[in-house]
Chains A and B, each alone.
Chain A
Amino acid sequence: MLEKGENKEYLPIEGLAAFNKATAELLLGADNPVIKEGRIATVQGLSGTGSLRLAAAFIQRYLPGVKVLISSPTWGNHKNILNDAGVPWSEYRYFDPKTVGLDFDGMLADMKDAPNGSIILLHGCAHNPTGIDPTTEQWDIIADVIQEKEHIAFFDVAYQGFASGSLDEDANSVRRFAARGMELFVAQSYSKNLGLYAERIGATNVITTSPELALRIKSQLKRLARPMYSNPPVHGARIVANVVGDPALFDEWRAEMQLMAGRIKQVRQKLYDELVAKDKSGKDWSFILKQIGMFSFTGLSQSQSENMTNKWHVYMTKDGRISLAGLSSAKCGYLADAIIDSYYNVQ
């Protein structure tokens, strides 16, 4: 990019066209009918947060009073974003501490309980903070309920490619919903999967029922973006467009993502093996293998988590979430000792 000596003129409010095209195609697949029919409005946004905030501002203005349901638990900033955007929210059950897995019945019940036409915030893959994703069958049932209740699904896609190692596999949930002709909000981030954290690159996508609607929605998104930051930063967008647009770079990226995802899967396996070897009680630690992505919800309580830090110098959040991205294979044994001690010896 430096050699090309490109200029630094303002991008249009909606961002770099080449980036917007690339990001929609990454999300849905280049030959997806939604794209071919022009039924998607894509606006470059300030990574995941900025893209979520822009969508929330749109919801506040055009779907006033409509509530967004967020998972319990969810990324800590979701509620702040909705609060500052002036959008009401409530929670749907998600994490089941008994199974250290998905409370699927609770989730469906809460979605059915909500007033028709609510918005359901879903994590596209690698749920943050739990690492617990619905199975494909469960996604289909979730989509059924959303359609019955005339809800709108709102996907937060922060880990496409980084979770399973495959861009297509990680987009499965979004694509299945889109294939049903559902209207969707999708916020994308390139912070983790392209390691572009500080460049703040992402996108707000709205998938709708006609190209005319998509155009009008895009225009309204621009009217909300302009008084927030006028137009988005060019640097990160050019990087993404260049990587995706160059077959050699794109292949290199795919390989790097598989490496990153592979390393995490390896470390999960190592941690699981250590736990099973050291814990003779027969407790089922398989949730470590079932969960996906950077984070794992260990099921440890707040005081147990504090013991991890105070006694073992393991840094994690008080909700029991550990980061696997920060874990090396060499440390798995130590971590297993810490978890076992905290789980059994601390109330």
Chain B
Amino acid sequence: MWLQEGKPYVLKVVREAEQRLIRDGSRNKEYLSITGIPAFNKLSAKLILGEDSPAIHEKRVCTAQCLSGTGSLRVGAEFLAKHYPQKVIYIPTPTWGNHPKVFTLGGLQVKSYRYYDPKTRGLDYEGLLDDLRAAPSDAVVLLHACAHNPTGVDPTREQWEGIRQIIRSKNMLPFFDSAYQGFASGSLDEDAHAVRLFAADGGECLIAQSYAKNMGLYGERVGALSIVCASESVATRVDSQLKLVIRPMYSNPPIHGAAIVATVLGDRGLYQEWTVELKAMADRIIRMRHLLYEALRARGTPGNWEHIIKQIGMFTFTGLTKEQVNFMTKEYHVYMTSDGRISMAGLSSRTVPHLANAIHAAVTKRV
């Protein structure tokens, strides 16, 4: 997370929460329970599912504090590999680089479904639906809750509903990766829309939450795995099985980051302040998107660059080729991945013109 000046940034509410924790003389460093801080778990479930979630009220949600998004995904994978009959997970093409190994080493077979359409630089919705239709019933399906990484392409609300219908009709099990709640659109509720759509229909799902980006707690490794179950008794049994997965992995989770999150989420004033800081971070990225888009239009750069402002989150899939990317790195010292993905979070109003020049040069030089 970078400020305009390019320095790593710690949220004000996080600093405030840390001060409160240090001043609280009653705290110690005794082991947490295997599934972590109970208040943290309750607040995390509420954050993603909503205050009025029927699943929470019916006690059908079991939540375990885990090591950020990765740890939550891995614990979920190992749990499914041990207990779920259909040990295959479908992941979008493309997806975060670490997803395949997390699931494979977790014991699941990994298959893909179509997602990104390079022609439109948007969602290959029909391809996605076709691939899910062709997949076996009961398969697990990985869904990015919002701000798809790496493409920034999210389904619309209508498309989410279509996806939900296919998944539920085939009795598939959705596994959400929620790494950007609040950080994508600026609204915590808006960014939880897809997860809540599925949770509200009474079906089961898994949700891996990360506080790395939206609370800037990257290195503290804070996250949560929530499993929405069919009934309270299933949730109780799932909780006990999760402990059996976690204990041989790392015994119990690290306290510091989760205590910060619980402090922020549990305090009305801090929570409010957080939503304001979050909106500012999201707005900054959206502003960078518009700045870059305008800069390319001002230069008359050939091509349609609307996807820059249509895509959402930290990353943009520019559609630039590997050769164009190499050119930009060599000639303009622009660092990006060879699939054409740029990090919007790393841009500032000072650096946008340079990036626009680089893109313009790469596209017009016909490399």
Contacts and interface: CB of A to CB of B under 8 A. Distances in A.
Contacts of A330: none
A230 B219 CA distance: 10
Nearest to B244: A80
Contact of B218 (A9, A50, A191, A236): A9
B335 interface: no
A83 to B, nearest CB: 7
A46 B98 contact: no
A226 to B, nearest CB: 6
B71 A231 contact: no
Given A8-B220, A198-B32, A84 B248 contact: yes
A57 B105 CA distance: 10
A325 interface: no
B249 A195 contact: no
Contacts of B244: 80
Interface string B15-53: 100110010000001111000000000000000000000
A198 B252 contact: yes
Contact of B98 (A9, A226, A234): A226
B30 to A, nearest CB: 6
Contacts of B68: 229-230
A233 B256 CA distance: 9
Contact of B219 (A10, A46, A53, A80): A10
Interface in A26-52: 46-50
A227 interface: yes
A77 interface: yes
Given A2-B22, A80-B247, A198-B32, A8 B70 contact: no
A233 B67 contact: yes
Given A228-B71, A228-B74, A229-B74, A200 B102 contact: no
Contacts of A5: 10, 15
Contacts of A9: 8, 218-219
Contacts of B32: 198
Given A49-B249, A230-B98, A236-B254, A10 B218 contact: yes
A200 B220 CA distance: 11
Interface in A203-247: 224, 226-236
Interface string A166-206: 00000000000000000000000001000111111000000
B10 A200 contact: no
Interface centre among A11, A81, A200, A224 (most CB of B within 10 A): A200
Given A198-B31, A229-B70, A8 B10 contact: yes
A77 B251 contact: yes
A7 interface: yes
Contact of B251 (A2, A49, A57, A196): A49
Q: Taking each of A48, A83, A228, which has the highest tally of chain B beta carbons within 10 Å of its own beta carbon?
A: A228
A2 to B, nearest CB: 6
B249 A233 contact: no
Contacts of B30: 197-198
Interface string A288-331: 00000000000000000000000000000000000000000000
Interface residues of A, number: 39
Interface string B243-286: 01101111111111100000000000000000000000000000
A233 B250 contact: no
Contact of A198 (B67, B69, B254): B254
A235 to B, nearest CB: 4
B108 to A, nearest CB: 12
Contacts of B18: 2
Contacts of B22: 2
B221 interface: yes
Given A8-B220, A50-B249, A84-B249, A227 B74 contact: yes
A230 B66 CA distance: 12
Interface string B283-327: 000000000000000000000000000000000000000000000
B157 interface: no
Interface string A59-86: 0000000000000000001001101110
Given A228-B71, A229-B70, A8 B216 contact: yes
A152 B21 CA distance: 44
Contacts of B252: 198, 200
A228 B247 CA distance: 14
B277 to A, nearest CB: 14
Contacts of B10: 5, 7-8
Given A53-B248, A77-B247, A198-B254, A7 B8 contact: yes
B254 A233 contact: yes
B280 to A, nearest CB: 18
A199 B101 contact: no
B129 interface: no
A231 B221 contact: yes
B47 to A, nearest CB: 19
Nearest to A236: B254
25 contacts: A5-B15, A9-B219, A46-B249, A47-B250, A49-B247, A77-B248, A80-B244, A81-B248, A85-B248, A198-B30, A198-B252, A200-B254, A226-B101, A227-B98, A227-B106, A229-B70, A230-B69, A230-B71, A230-B98, A230-B221, A233-B254, A235-B254, A235-B256, A235-B257, A236-B254
Given A2-B18, A77-B251, A200-B250, 17 more contacts: A8-B10, A8-B216, A11-B219, A49-B247, A57-B105, A80-B244, A80-B248, A191-B31, A197-B29, A199-B29, A227-B101, A227-B104, A227-B106, A228-B102, A229-B67, A229-B68, A230-B68
Among all A-B residue pairs, the 4 with the closest Cβ atoms? A234-B219, A46-B250, A198-B255, A227-B101
